[in-house]
Amino acid sequence: MNVIEANGARIPAIGLGTWELRGRTCARIVEQALRLGYRHIDTAQVYDNEREVGEGLRASGVRRDDVCITTKVWTSHFRPNDLERSAKESLARLRLTEIDLLLLHWPNPQVPLAETMGALAHAKQLGLARHIGVSNFTVALVEEAVAACTEPLVCDQVEYHPYLDQAKVKAACARHGMAVVAYSPIAKGRIRNDRALARIGDRYRKTAAQVCLRWLVQQNVAAIPRTSKLERLSENINVFDFELSEDDMRLISVMASASGRLTDFGFAPKWD
C-alpha cells in the first residue's frame, strides 16, 4: 500500500521528514529522496527550511504534480489574518502556487480553535492549500476540530512508533475518514538498536527500521522518517516488497508503554 487515501487526499505512505535539516544539506537530501522515488516531503514554518525544500524539489526534476508537499503553520500564526499571511509566506519560500497539505503544527489554547479552523478552511478555499489537517491533536481536539471546520480534514500528524500507543488517535481519525501521519516513526533512531525488532527483521532480511516502518504502513499509517544520510534514504523507502505476519504485527504492537513519548513541549496538550 504505497498511498494512504483520506477524505479526497492521496498521501504517499513513506515520506521524508526534514526537521533539523538546514541549508545545502536539506536541499541535497530532498533532491536525492525525490530521485529515489519519495513523493512526500514534510516541512514546517518553524523548521526554517521551506526555501531549501523548494530548491530540492526543483533540482530533482520530478514533476511538481507528482509530489505531496506538507508544511505546518506555527502556533503564533493561528489568528485568521496571521494564518493566511503565513501560508502565503510559506508558498513564497517554497516557490509554489499551492501547498498540498497545510497543517496546524500544535494546538494553541490561546486562540479559540473554531477561529483557527475557520481560517484554515478559508486558506483552502483561497487555493493556498489543496488539503488541510492538524498535527499533535489529541482525540478530544480532533473531534473539536472536525466539528468546527467547514472543509474536510485529511490527517492528524503525531508521534507514532512501536514504543508509543496511538490506538485512540487512530480510531478517532478513522471515524472521520482522516489518516494518521507518523513523525519520529523510528523513535529518533532508537529502533535501530532494538534486538526484538532486529530478530523480526532477520526473518524478512530487513533492518529493524524497515520492520518498524512496514508495521506502520500495514496499519494504513503514513510515515515520515527524517534522515540526513543518503544511505538511509534507500533503506527507509524499501519497505513495500515484504509483509509482516499477523503474529509479528502483534509482537510489535505490545512494545508500547505509557512512557514512550519522545516529543513534548510546554504548550502541548495532555495526552491521556
Which are the catalytic amino acids? 47
Find out whether 15 and 222 touch, Cβ atoms under 8 Å: yes
**Measured distance CA(88)–CA(98) in Å, rounded:** 9
Look at residue 94 and give its three-state secondary structure: helix
Residue 221 makes CB contacts below 8 A (sequence gap 6+) with 4, 13, 160, 170, 179, 180, 181, 182
Find out whether 90 and 69 touch, Cβ atoms under 8 Å: no
DSSP 191: G
- What angle, 0 to 180 degrees and rounded to 10, lies between the N-to-C axes of helices 230-237 and 208-217? 50
Q: Which residues are registered as beta bridge partners of 179?
A: 155
